[in-house]
Amino acid sequence: MIEIIEDLQVAKNTILRRSQKPTDYPDHVLSGVERIFGDDVSPENAVARILSDVRENGDVALRLWSERIDGIVPDPFQVSRNDLSLGVELISAETRQAIKFALDRVHTFHSLQPVSDWQTKELGGIMGQRMIPLKRVGIYVPSGTASLPSSLIMAAIPAKVAGVQEIIVCTPPGKEGNQVASEILAAAHMLGIKKVYQLGGAQAIAAMAYGTETVPRVDKIVGPGNIFVTLAKQQVFGQVGIDGLFGPTETVIVADDAANPEWVAADLLAQAEHDVLASAILITPSLQLAQSVKVVISEKIIALKRNKIVQQSLTNRGGIVIVPDVESAVSIADEYAPEHLCLYLNDADKWSNSVQNAGCLFIGKYSCEVMVDYVAGPNHILPTGGTARFASTLNVLDFIKIMSVVTLDQKTSDLLIEPAAKIALAELLDAHALAALERKR
């Protein structure tokens, strides 16, 4: 069960310390690799082997690895357009309406992001930058015990707002070769996506990165996935763009005695529900709140469908940290740089400007994470593992390349010749200097 930690140093040495190394893989990952590749192959090498095979052998390799890893070979890989449209009919009217609601709000939010060409004459001539949408983007949509249409919505909408010409989707097939989940197909159809492939894992990333007879090569791959997807994205980066390397999800809640313990407990449980490696942490100066939250969690966890996952997550990665005051709580949370940071404080607005490091900042008791997960508007694909110190939420600019444009007139060119030549000569690049000096009148 979730533990209350009253010694701050203990908390910093345990739940607030990201000590997991890239090679510290869960047992089920290592056993899966051993089953398929043998006991002398690391997950990194297993992924490299899959990538190389798909690059060299295309669809043949996709079929091989789909059968060996997933136990099935979807035939064909691509979902028919008829099945895409059928997905809308197979989901309930309530789900369909909710997806439409989410699509509208997320689209509106991303449409408001300032993105535009610009130019200036202040430096002489005309110079500026052009914002050019990527031509083709691949989205990976994870699927396991549940379908995740929200991940597709969050990845696809900023791409569409940016003006990406073509979006393709790869998502694991259903169990026993069943079709992709209807919710994902419905969301794809409602987004106007025409190419969905029943492919999962590293082989899906390879197909999008290199292209095969069936799957077109993309310019960038986005979307979260399991460790094999993450390793594959890491290894294909440079040959194709990626959005980021996403680790286990994490939430830090900073709350004082004005917070509702029922709400805080519910938010911690929701985070822990994702995965046994998820981190759900409460930082508070109120021991009374901490004790109340712990009681509520113990009462509510029993009824949850994924209670075993929640239990393991809270026991191994979650916790409640007692600190001297709110200032300490906010400072510690900001240093931790979590994916999600929730300020459930009586004066949350006052403290919000103190936060510099978080994937998404939630200010006030009504601003709970689950709303952004689905329908609020901002993106839920966020930097994890402390990378919020330098990385950003998925946004429209992730789907745009910026090209500088230079138009120099003769007067400006004359002004630049000597300084350019002098720097070139200082760098021992006399041909560069010559290219400038040749234009001297």
pLDDT in tens, 40-95: 788 898 999 999 999 999 999 999 999 998 888 888 899 998 999 999 999 999 99
pLDDT given at position 284 = 98
pLDDT given at position 420 = 97
Residue 39: what are its φ and ψ, rounded to 5°? -80, -5
274 is catalytic: no
For the chain, give the percent of residues with pLDDT over 70. Answer: 97
What SS3 class is residue 100? Answer: helix
Q: Is the pLDDT of residue 29 over 80?
A: no
User: Of these residues, 183, 250, 273, 339, which one is catalytic?
Assistant: 339
Kindly state the tokens that stand for 332.
């510690």
Kindly state the tokens that stand for 405.
């444009």
- The pairing of strands 126-133 and 118-120 is antiparallel
Query: Which domains are assigned to the chain?
Result: 4-15+248-389 (3.40.50.1980), 81-242 (3.40.50.1980), 408-437 (no CATH)
Mean pLDDT to the nearest integer, 176-188:
82
What does pLDDT average to over the chain?
93
Q: Which has the higher per-residue pLDDT, 30 or 59?
A: 59
Task: Work out the pLDDT band at 21, boundaries 50, 70, 90.
Answer: low
pLDDT given at position 177 = 52
Q: Is the pLDDT of residue 22 over 60?
A: no
pLDDT given at position 36 = 80
Q: Is the pLDDT of residue 240 over 90?
A: yes
pLDDT given at position 20 = 55
Q: Residues near 292 by Cβ (< 8 Å), separated by ≥ 6?
A: 261
Q: Residues near 198 by Cβ (< 8 Å), separated by ≥ 6?
A: 74, 77, 78, 79, 171, 172, 173, 179, 180
pLDDT given at position 37 = 80
Q: Is the pLDDT of residue 323 over 70?
A: yes
Task: Work out the pLDDT band at 230, boundaries 50, 70, 90.
Answer: very high
Mean pLDDT to the nearest integer, 136-149:
83
Mean pLDDT to the nearest integer, 210-231:
95
Mean pLDDT to the nearest integer, 124-144:
93
pLDDT given at position 178 = 58
Kindly state the tokens that stand for 181.
């989940």
Task: Work out the pLDDT band at 337, boundaries 50, 70, 90.
Answer: very high
d(CA 280, CA 252): 6
Task: Work out the pLDDT band at 144, boundaries 50, 70, 90.
Answer: low
213 is catalytic: no
pLDDT in tens, 151-174: 999 999 999 999 999 999 999 987
Q: Is the pLDDT of residue 398 over 70?
A: yes
Q: Is the pLDDT of residue 258 over 90?
A: yes
Residues in the chain: 441
pLDDT given at position 365 = 94
User: Of these residues, 110, 189, 274, 340, which one is catalytic?
Assistant: 340
pLDDT given at position 145 = 52
Structural contact between residues 185 and 408, judged by C-beta atoms closer than 8 angstroms: no
